[in-house]
Amino acid sequence: MDMQLKVKNVTVAYDDYVAIKDVSFALKPGEIGCLLGPSGCGKTSLLRAIAGFEPVQCGEISLHGKTVSVPGNYLPTEQRRVGMVFQDFALFPHLSVEKNIAFGLKHLNAKRCDERVEELLKLVGLSHLKTAYPHELSGGQQQRIALIRAMAPRPEILLMDEPFSSMDAELREQLAREVRELLKRDGITAILVTHDQLEAFAMADAIAVLGNGELHQYDSGYNIYHNPANRFVADFIGQGVMLQASVLDEKRVETEMGVFKGELPEDCHSGQQVEVLLRPDDVIHDDNSDIKLEVIAKVFRGAEYLYTLALPSGQSILCLVQSHHNHRIGERIGIKLGVDDLAVFPVCENTETAD
């Protein structure tokens, strides 16, 4: 299948600072990708390189089969047919909502242009604000206008730079859902830049986890959470603890919580000391279980409690439990393990940690 966006071995650098090193990934038409990483990881630089605001030092970027960026040569942004939604929305304050949306529709005649504007406004349910000016809109409304303004000229790809970062948490979730629906309905290929993993999970079909300018993993949200490719991804995404373990054979490791089965990295040999990632949702509360562990800390999160439980060896694990199971600190509660995907990492002293 033809790829809508292909990023091949791309390096982006400013003077002597390398922002992105040798990154490759691709998006199918209609797919929504996400560049996820802590601040300073280079995700925005990569997005700007795709938009054509930054040149690439190595590698190649192509859109819809057409090469747009190679070292020393790149198609200017205005000829790329990209749509862009900015963190600050960048609505033109001197133009009405209608004129803002029509800004990129110069090639259409007045009637077709008006139709497109009406259509998009209806899509986001803001038809009544057609003649309003940006300063009269709420944050959420500005966000929607910025989005449909970028969508109006039917771009090859829609690029969104932290589009929800200025919203409060509740609105952010609702908007992310709305935007995903909208993009899917129109079959628009899009890339979202964010540092918020929940936003990435909610929006994206495929997530590229970036750290220190490198691509650590490019996969679905599920796999990034349950099968992190390396320690950086394991640390950055979700919560969890690393449990010490030793390799028994190609398929099994042993921990103080028992033996886990699953795929191990190829270079493991039996007897080797490794670490196993244990997510809070891998640890299931069960009053009937024989394994009883002491609660040493708890955090109330509304629907559930996050308990920290002590193992006999002194290591601790996290356990997510529905909040009507309210246990005191010091109480021993029964748990069982439900590790479906085994994530094993070599022991290392200096772990690369995410923000």
Partner 1 sequence: MKFSYWHTSIIATTLLLAIPLAVVVANVFVPAGEVWRHLAATVLQDYIVNSLLLMFGVAIGSLILGVGSAWLVSVTEFPGRKYFEWALLLPMAIPAYIIAYTYTGMLDFAGPVQSSLRELTGWGYGDYWFPEIRSLGGAAVMLSLVLYPYIYLLARAAFLSQSLCVLEVSRSLGNGPWCTFFHVGLPLARPAIVAGLSLVLMETLADYGTVQYFGVSTFTTGIFRTWYGLDNAPAAAQLAAMLLLFVVVLVTLERISRRQSRYYNTGKRTQPLQRLKLVGRGRVAASLFCFAILLSGFLLPAAQLASWAINTYQTMIDARFVTLFFNTLELAAISTALALVIALLLNYGRRLQPTRGIRFAVRAAGLGYAIPGTVIAIGVVIPFGWFDNTLDSWMRAQFDVSTGLLLSGTIAALVFAYMVRFLAVSLHAVESGLERITPSMDEAARAMGEKPLGILGRIHIPMLKGSLITALLLVFVDVLKELPATLILRPFNFNTLAVRAYELASDERLADSSTAALAIVVAGLVPVILLSRSLSKTRSFAK
The residues that touch partner 1, with contacts defined as CB under 8 A, are 51, 53, 76-84, 86-88, 90, 92-94, 103-104, 106, 149-150, 152-153, 155, 159
Closest CB 125 distance from partner 1, rounded Å: 23
Closest CB 25 distance from partner 1, rounded Å: 21
The single-letter code of the amino acid at 136 is E
Q: Say how far apart CA 192 and CA 35 lie, in whole Å.
A: 6
DSSP 123: H
Closest CB 100 distance from partner 1, rounded Å: 9
In this complex, which beta carbon is closest to partner 1, that of residue 92 or of residue 300? 92
Closest CB 246 distance from partner 1, rounded Å: 53
Query: Quick check: 274 and 347 in contact, CB under 8 A?
Result: yes
In this complex, which beta carbon is closest to partner 1, that of residue 44 or of residue 217? 44
Q: Say how far apart CA 23 and CA 273 lie, in whole Å.
A: 31
In this complex, which beta carbon is closest to partner 1, that of residue 82 or of residue 274? 82
Closest CB 83 distance from partner 1, rounded Å: 6
The single-letter code of the amino acid at 233 is V
Which helix (H) or strand (E) is 19 found in, with range? strand 17-27
Q: Say how far apart CA 150 and CA 191 lie, in whole Å.
A: 13
What single string gives the DSSP state of each residue in 246-265? EEEETTEEEETTEEEES---
- For 262, residues 6+ apart whose C-beta sits below 8 A from its C-beta are 251, 339, 341, 342, 344
Closest CB 153 distance from partner 1, rounded Å: 6
The residues that bridge with 17 in the sheet, in sequence order, are 14
